[in-house]
Amino acid sequence: MNFITYPGKPFPLGSTWDGNGVNFALYAHNAIGVELCLFDSPESPSESARFKMEERTYEVWHTYVPELKPGQLYGYRVYGNYEPEEGHRFNPYKLLIDPYAKAIAGTINWHESLFGYKFGHVDEDLSYSDLDSAPYLPKSVVIDPSFDWGDDKSPNLPYHKSIIYEAHVKGFTQRHPAIPEEIRGTYAGIAHPATIQYLLDLGITAIELLPVHHFITDWHLQEKGLTNYWGYNTIGFFAPDVRYSSSGVLGQQVTEFKQMVKALHQAGIEVILDVVYNHTGEGNEKGPTLSFRGIDNASYYRLVEEDKRYYMDYTGTGNTLNANLPSVLRLIMDSLRYWITEMHVDGFRFDLASALARELHGVDKLSSFFDIIHQDPIISQVKLIAEPWDVGEGGYQVGNFPPGWTEWNGMYRDCMRDFWRGEDSMLAEFANRFTGSSDLYYDDYRRPTASINFITAHDGFTLHDLVSYNEKHNEANGEDSKDGDDHNRSWNCGVEGPTDDQWVIDLRNRQKRNFLATLFLSQGVPMLVAGDEMSRTQQGNNNAYCQDNEISWLDWESADASLLEFSKKLIHFRKSHPVFRRRRWFQGRAIKGHGLEDIAWFLPNGQEMAYEHWEQDHAKSLGVYLNGRGVHSRGPKGEVVLDDSFYVIFNAYHDSLVFHAPSEKYGLSWTVALDTFRNQVEPEEPTVYKAGESFHVEGRSILVLKNPIFHSPNE
């Protein structure tokens, strides 16, 4: 085909089909020339057409090619200086993925031509490779953006009503017996009625998907027969990963993703994406040249000022995107807006978010990254969740993100793990975490819902393994178990790994219920990891990032039916009672007209806790009164929100203890609403205790008593 080209336009960046042809626009500030390469198929070893982009507006190279259609494959070759010491690594022998590609056809076929330097050369990455990488690089795809969304709209649930479920697209459905084999492990598998019904039955309001931006698997992993299963190695910030597509690679993956979102929205379930804008899959100075490095290395990455050959690494991956630069900020914001406006997602969880907030070196919560998001009328209105740390100095920033953001609360995770494994820890911290971590968020005018509470996440032990292993067992990763965290705050209940000892099994099951109950009774937003509700195990692997197999996939046929039923009832219990999901902080003072505090803390003997009791690091047991009249909130129509009152007893001591029900001041009678020892949530024939009555609470268990005076409205 003989192509003619027109000047085209510098915006929007990427490839844009208008019905008559395609506009191509590429930002490359330091480049001296750009060539657009067209390919006939994903398997084509070389381009069928290659022509120079003559037009440059400011820092953007652009051209328009009439008659091109969706499905067209393309890539770029960019010319400029090859001066690694100055931060420039231009090499036109390397075909490059468009940073704004909306789809990418296939995955990398590793070969030394994908690197800008010669393998084995004495000068290492300062040498220059003239091997053509086109046969081995996946191609960018022109897409048709049209899609019938119908009346689709975001469920837009407030945080205090949210139950977040962290899941992997493939791992969640790969072994699901009710899903057709041809769509297991795909976007279509997530959209399948069996998947959606399961989420609804469990009570989930938002599914948080591990990275779906197109990512790469490192060569060294592939050589070991492993893969980058989690996906934290992005190379395409606009493209849904092709591995999860059951329908095709030439743009069909975009449509399939949209169909998934639409189906989840119809069920009232939000879609949150785990996004990785802190680095790319190109690694350090010895990594491959796949996209950003070859397009304009100095305009995308944080480079060491003294020697720009090297990269600042705040991510542990070899590089860090430079969110201080306008080009990178624009890329991130354009990507976020695209996923909101075109793909209809409802929020984002930002991996290693502290890296995005670094100015020259330190983390700055007033950085331009936050400023731009705060003023953006689209991005600022969706759920924004930070993983508030990175691997650099001063990177642990839990509690320091600005208003409008929520955070994965690592302090909550650590505190609750220590509490239930019996570590000496101040009850004051437990109280802070249970009530929403006001010590972290109150002074910034944020609310309890700023805390995303979790016991486990994809990174680390599953809930079952948390109570079954003291040590990590990562042998399958091929790194002699040197990878993964060595300090898991886990307790194996006396036996490492699987056991036939019924006493140990019973204790482990009770500990799982304790963790789940603590999570869903705490103020803040609970996040549950897919499979924890059914006792999923990774056989002690606490870093299964490279395990795309049965180690990571949910085993539906071996699901723990008892724990699953407990989890369903527990989540429903939380959703039915606004006292456990407050929008405002506890005041700790008497409620006007009633003489009772909204919250009060008690020793097992029924005595209210004094200052000195909070400082006893050996104390493992306490009771907390939650006043149903003290929710301090109004419903959507301005109605006052009232609830039953509750007395929650935590006994992390190894033996049973005698507790007392609160005095008549707090209620005349109390009904057992939840008992982790007996595996009960709202039992049909509950035990009733009178005010002040004494009773035994079993060791390592939670007992929740209800004073059912007020009907709980759906606020």
Give dist(CA 268, CA 363) in Å, integer: 37
Last residue of a domain, one of 127, 142, 157: 142
Q: Could you confirm whether 351 is annotated as catalytic?
A: yes
Last residue of a domain, one of 142, 157, 179: 142
Do 240 and 212 touch, CB atoms closer than 8 A?
A: yes
* CA end-to-end distance (rounded Å), the chain: 63
Structural tokens at position 488 = 């898991």
Q: Does 359 map to a domain?
A: no
Structural tokens at position 289 = 């040249």
Structural tokens at position 49 = 């057409």
Q: Does 393 map to a domain?
A: no
270, 285, 387, 597: the active-site residue: 387
Instruction: Tell me which residues of the chain have a pLDDT lower than 50.
Output: 592-593, 711-714
Q: Does 463 map to a domain?
A: no
pLDDT, residue 360, reads: 55
> 0.95 exceeded by the pTM?
yes
| Percent of the chain that is helix, strand, coil (3-state, to 5) | 25, 20, 55
Task: Encode pLDDT of 399-438 as tens digits.
Answer: 999 999 999 999 999 999 999 999 987 788 999 999 999 9
Residues with Cβ within 8 Å of 395's Cβ and at least 6 positions away in sequence, in order, are 314, 352, 354, 355, 363, 389
pLDDT, residue 590, reads: 57
Exposure on the CB side of residue 92, measured as CA atoms within 13 A = 14
Last residue of a domain, one of 142, 162, 197: 142
Q: Does 198 map to a domain?
A: no
Closest to 173 measured CA to CA, from 209, 148, 142: 209
Q: Provide the angle, in degrees to the nearest 10, between the axes of the packed helices 427-434 and 410-421.
A: 130
Give dist(CA 2, CA 5) in Å, integer: 10
Structural tokens at position 508 = 């482990």
Closest to 674 measured CA to CA, from 687, 689, 663: 687
Closest to 332 measured CA to CA, from 361, 304, 292: 292
CATH at residue 23: 2.60.40.10
Q: Does 328 map to a domain?
A: no
Say how many domains are in the chain: 2
Exposure on the CB side of residue 450, measured as CA atoms within 13 A = 23
Do 66 and 20 touch, CB atoms closer than 8 A?
A: yes
CATH at residue 623: 2.60.40.1180
Task: Encode pLDDT of 423-477 as tens digits.
Answer: 987 788 999 999 999 999 998 889 999 999 999 999 999 999 999 999 999 999 9
- Collapse the DSSP code of 36 into the 3-class scheme (helix H, G, I; strand E, B; otherwise coil) and give the result: strand
241, 351, 532, 548: the active-site residue: 351
**Domain extent for 612:** 587-707
Alpha helices in 120-186 (DSSP H): 169-173
Residue 395 phi, psi (nearest 5): -80, -15
pLDDT, residue 712, reads: 46
Do 51 and 57 touch, CB atoms closer than 8 A?
A: no
Q: Does 687 map to a domain?
A: yes
Q: Does 132 map to a domain?
A: yes
Q: Does 422 map to a domain?
A: no
pLDDT, residue 395, reads: 87
Strand partners, 51: 36
Q: Could you confirm whether 305 is annotated as catalytic?
A: no
